[in-house]
Structure 1
Amino acid sequence: MTMTKKLIITLLLLISIAFVHCLAFHVELEEFEPPRQEEQEAPVGEGSGEGWQEESTSEFPYHFRKRSFKNWFQSKEGFVKMLPKFTKRAPNLFRGIENYRFSLYDMEPNSFLVPLHLDADSVVIILQGHGVAEFVTAKTKELFHLTKGDVVRLPSGITHFAINTNQTVPLRFAKITIPVNNPGQFQNYFSAPSQFQQSYFTGFSKEVLSASFNIPEELVGRIFFGPQQMGQGIMRRITPDQIKELTENSTSPSNKHKDKSTKFSPFSLFTHDSVSSYTNDFGHFHEAHPESFDQLQDLQIAVTWTNMTQGSVFLPQYNSKATFVTFVENGCARYEMASPYSFQGEQQQQQWWPEQGEEKEEDMSGQVHKIVSRVCKSDVFIIPAGHPFTIVSHDENFVSVGFGIYASNSIRTFLAGQGNVLSNLDTVATRVAFGVGSKVAEKLFTSQNYSHFAPTTPSHQQS
């Protein structure tokens, strides 16, 4: 009996030891198990169109989601966000626009952007609110009142400041910037110190500044080097009385001489006679060409505003020379674009993200790839020159603005709708090219009842 108990105890001990070893081995395996691959982004919700798939950002360089922006400045008075250089995403694909930077500004009510200048030219479009911008030179001081849809040229080196004069609504604007020193890189030069930005006067000795301004060195140190402004950012809250003083002391030659336009003068995309506009019940489109505006001509920049109603399509089209950086101000829409480049799979990614110094060979395969992406508020989408594209608004009204790069003499060509370019093809050419009969050839490109914008459902089409 004693021997039997000893055997049982020994057997139990052996089983326990084996179990512990197995458990340790299992834990050890778990600790060294390779991490699971992260799940891809969840599918887009319903109402975004049938049978389309959204590409992930890592595989699809044209679409910059709002999380792609980097905070350059942020406080309770507002923020400045900027996209990284386009060539960071795809060095070869965006080589032609590597010198251009896109940024977004948001100023809270009764806020003041302190005076500064840039080593870059800029074009600004007001997205929301009301404000004032003042440009200062050695001889002039010009103030301009700005509202939604206004376009402003900021020449390189011009000293300027901005005020949100609205007491309830933020002043929001988008900006395309063209550096003049280093491609894709520019600097902001502030005259006054702030929490994160030194005054450019700190680049001089107090002795030089004292002699330059004919003031004591102690005052120089207090104004330009002192801590009195260091608790505030480049955007500051000001009182309505201060706003009144600033606007009263400024002149506005654009108001006095409405027929006289300068490179400083803003213009409205909605009301200016030289803006090209397409409009019907399903959408509105406004485009300022560089040939028509002195403010844009030397920069070769075009500016657009697109407003689409729910359930509409901006008919297929392309731009002959301009590459557009489009920013979504409101809503969501489906962008479809025909591209000769594929971005699916590891091989294609390696082709478009080459090592430094490598060149990508031209793709002569003749394949067309369907680029489809759901683009929503605060996203950016790049439309290269020559790429046919369309925009489909499904669940809500959709608003976007665009900056066209290299837009001089660029022609916007529509591929569908009344008056589209293919409707001018000779019927015989259509018949031969598409392999259709005479009756189909006559109606193939002439059956659409609308121009530029159309409904997505046939029931809304005119008879």
Structure 2
Amino acid sequence: MATARDRTTVPFLLLFFATTLCAAAVAASREDHGGREPSLRQCVRRCEEDRPRYQRAQCVQECREREQQEQGRHERDRSGEGPGDEREHEEGGRRPYVFDRRSFRRIVRSEQGSVKALPPFHEASKLLRGIRNYRVVVLEANPRSFIVPSHTDAHCICYVAQGEGVVTTIENGERRSYTIREGYIFVAPAGAVTYLANTDGRRKLVIAKILHTISETGKFQFFFGPGGKNPESVLSSFSKSVQRAAFKTSSDRLERLFGRQDKGIIVRATEEQIRELRRHASEGSHGPHWPLPPFGESHGPYKLLEQQPRIANQHGQLYEADARRFPDLTDHDVRVSLVNITAGSMSAPFYNTRSIKIAYVLEGEGHAEIVCPHLAHGSESEHSHGGGRSERGKGWRREEESEEEEDKGQQREQEEAGQGYQTILARLSRGTAFVVPVGHPVVEVASRDSNLQILCFEVRAEKNEKVYLAGANNVLKQLDDTAKALAFAASAREVDEVLDAQRGQGFLPGPDESGGQEREQEDEHEGRHGRREVVAETLLRMATGGL
């Protein structure tokens, strides 16, 4: 018979075991999530409570990026994948040309801003070895901040994506100081001492850069002059005896001047200091030739958005700066362009004859399609666009060939041009980077809800030609009638009907805008439309077949 004490102990034991099981479940849950830091909600709350108002948006974005990284790590842990598996998955994913915001690494971080960079391209894929000497870097500086003087062992071509400020470079004994704002391009050559200030009291200064590395393939280093939290001044790295001899000053004083400090690399400036920096800057150079530089020399940043666009219509605008327009680009063989595609529109399909295009999305959302012949010889990808399937299945192998003949001719067939393509689909949003190799046709499409702004650095720009495959300036229109009749499965007249149907140039109505009109034409000309599809497909295959 149970005593009163027994009746009291049993519920207590049950409660104890239930509590223990709950604690174990919570611990297991934490372990299962890889020991993650507090949740996204707690991170966002800390941003709202601890950060100034102008830093909160960036803080929240960093919280989300960390949460996404933790989720990806958790999923890989559960599936048994390691870091090597992740790299293999990315390579096998057949998107070697696309980099989202999580691909960037922060190389400088402070309370007043950050610098982030994409890893070297040749580390991402062997297909990008042609741009192994280039890096993409993004600087973000908070309002009223100052980036301390430094130099780097790489040429830097910069585009001001947001905000306004002052930039100063010291090269060949000359100090040149300029005001910069959104839409300006400027160049900081390797070794030139450069410093910047965000003179705006409300907006961040965002500068997207391409660095041409010249010291070590795909690698670059910042060398900071004065002291900083991390790293120290390069001057403090010399021996004490060399410092004393170089400056004729005591070690204690030099330590205070060049030693490690608490200021950091991106520091807060007072209103008076910003006003003084702005006063020293102007729209041009402060060199000895000011205000009239020698013939052929540049005298300040290039105001890209204030120039006449090369192509402009209701569907988009293309602004370009090359060495002829901006002499500072002469020694770098790079063309800088800005593409603005209106909501729901797209660029006409095109390719570059010599340039490799490195693109960075500034604003908006949409997608890009890149036609690649290299990836068609591998397995299909879940990232590939369904409508852009590899053409391998069409004529890649003949069914009548014997297995023995297939084995003998396999290597030869894989080397033949035009045997297969795979279309890479890249989802585009702010902060996405992508690369388009030489000769690869590409289309960029803006979403229906927002304009799509893309900054482009085209490497090896000299003598490059942008070749359009659709629209009023379609290169295929220049074929003579005999060539059209011989090349396509239709008469020259039908080929001309397809080529002349699109009257736009450079920028066209997007798939959503033109879809209704195309369906009406299909209903009205159903019999002839089938032949047009064949002609259009043959046109694209011929245009990309020699790549």
* 1:31-70 matches, cutoff 5 A: 37=79, 58-70=93-105
Q: What's 2:265 paired with?
A: 234
Q: Separation in 2 of the partners of 1:420 and 1:132?
A: 43
Q: Is the 8 A contact 1:342 1:348 kept in 2?
A: no
Equivalent position amino acid for 1:313 in 2: M
2:99 touches 2:434 (CA, 8 Å); kept in 1? yes
The C-alpha deviation readout for 1:131-182, integer Å capped at 9, x for no partner, is 1101124632211111111111111110110000000000001111112211
The equivalent of 2:436 in structure 1 is 383
Correspondence for 1:433 among 487, 492, 500: 487
Taking structure 2 as the reference length, what is the TM-score of the superposition? 0.68
- 1:218 maps to 2:252: yes
Aligned twin of 1:447: 501
The alpha-carbon distance between structure 1 residues 287 and 253, as it changes in their structure 2 partners (threshold 3 A), is closer
SS at match of 1:222: helix
SS of alignment partner, residue 374 of structure 2: coil
Shift of 1:130: 0.6
Q: Which residue number in structure 2 is paired with residue 155 of structure 1?
A: 189
Larger RCO (CA under 8 A, 6+ residues apart): 1
Partner of 2:338: 305
1:98 corresponds to 2:132? yes
* Matched position secondary structure for 1:59: coil
Aligned match of 2:310: 277
| 1:192 aligned partner | 226
- Of 316, 319, 335, which aligns to 1:286? 319
CA distance in 2, matches of 1:220, 1:234: 19
Which of 352, 360, 364 aligns to 1:327? It is 360
Kindly tell me the number of residue pairs found equivalent between the two proteins. 399
Change (3 A) 1:343 1:128: farther
Q: Residue 20 of structure 1 corresponds to which residue in structure 2?
A: none
Q: Secondary structure at the match of 2:257?
A: helix
Amino acid at match of 1:154: A
User: What is the CA-CA distance between 1:429 and the residue it aligns to?
Assistant: 1.6
Q: Is the 8 A contact 2:165 2:180 kept in 1?
A: yes
| Residue of structure 2 equivalent to 1:373 | 426
Which residue of structure 2 lines up, in the alignment, with residue 402 of structure 1?
A: 456
User: Are 1:73 and 1:80, in contact at CA under 8 Å, matched by a contact in 2?
Assistant: yes
Change (3 A) 1:237 1:57: farther
Letter in 2 for 1:373: A
Alignment match, 1:248: 279
* Contact 2:143–2:198 (8 Å) recurs in 1: yes
Query: Which stretch of structure 1 is more off in the superposition, 285-294 or 303-312?
Result: 285-294
After superposition, give the CA deviation of every residue in 1:106-152 in whole Å (9 maximum; x if it has no partner). Answer: 11100000000111111001101111101124632211111111111
CA-to-aligned-CA distance 1:373-429 (integer Å, 9 cap, x gap): 212110101001100111111232111101111111110111111122111111232
Could you tell which deviates more after superposition, 409-418 or 442-451?
442-451
Aligned to 1:5: none
Structure 1 residues 460 and 200, CA, compared in 2 at 3 Å: closer, same or farther? farther
- Secondary structure of the residue aligned to 1:182 is coil
Q: Deviations over 1:281-305 (max 9, x none)?
A: 1111112123443211221111110
Which of 416, 433, 437 is the matching residue for 1:364?
416
Secondary structure, counterpart of 1:178 in structure 2: strand
The 1:339–1:79 alpha-carbon spacing in structure 2 relative to 1, beyond 3 Å, is same
| Contact kept in structure 2, 1:154 and 1:264, CA below 8 Å | no
Correspondence for 1:13: none
Q: Offset at 1:430? A: 1.6
Tell me which residue corresponds to 2:143: 109
1:345 positional shift = 6.2
Preserved CA contact (<8 Å) 1:417 1:451: yes
Structure 1 residues 262, 371: closer, same or farther in 2, change over 3 A? Answer: same
Corresponding letter in the other structure for 2:266: M
Q: C-alpha root-mean-square deviation of aligned residues, in Å?
A: 2.9
Over 3 Å counting, the alpha-carbon distance change for 1:38 and 1:408 in structure 2 is farther
Q: Is the 8 A contact 2:244 2:251 kept in 1?
A: yes
In 2, the alpha carbon distance for the partners of 1:179 and 1:214 equals 35
Assess, with a 3 A threshold, how the Cα gap between structure 1 residues 382 and 363 changes in structure 2: closer, same or farther: farther
Higher strand proportion: 1
Map 1:167-182 onto structure 2 (within 5 A): 167-182=201-216
User: Cα deviation per residue 1:241-263 (whole Å; 9 max; x = unaligned)?
Assistant: 00112233456644963776635
Query: Deviation of residue 38 (structure 1)?
Result: 8.1
Which of 153, 160, 164 is the aligned partner of 1:126? 160
Shift in alpha-carbon separation, 1:394–1:460, aligned structure 2, 3 A: farther
Pairwise CA distance, 1:183? 1.2
Work out the CA distance in 1 between the residues paired with 2:333 and 2:169.
Answer: 22
**2:385 matched to which residue of 1?**
none
Match of 1:26 in 2: none
For the residues of structure 2 that align with 1:74 and 1:344, how far apart are their CA atoms?
42
Matched with 1:22 is none
Q: Unaligned 5+ residue runs, structure 2?
A: 1-75, 82-89, 383-410, 522-547
Gap regions ≥5 residues in structure 1: 1-33, 40-54, 350-359
SS in 2 for 1:444: helix
For the Cα contact (< 8 Å) 1:290–1:407, is it kept in 2?
Answer: no
Q: Percent identity?
A: 29
- 1:193 to partner: Cα distance: 1.6
Verify: 1:204 aligned to 2:256, yes or no: no
Deviating more after overlay: 158-167 vs 276-285: 276-285
How far off its partner does 1:74 sit? 1.6
Instruction: Provide the secondary structure at the position in 2 that maps to 1:326.
Output: strand
Change in 2 beyond 3 A, CA 1:252/1:67: same
Contact 1:142 1:251 in 2 (8 A): no
Residue 43 of structure 1 corresponds to which residue in structure 2? none
User: Given that residues 287 and 304 in structure 1 are in contact (C-alpha distance below 8 angstroms), is that contact kept between their aligned partners in structure 2?
Assistant: yes
Segment drifting more, 444-453 vs 247-256: 247-256
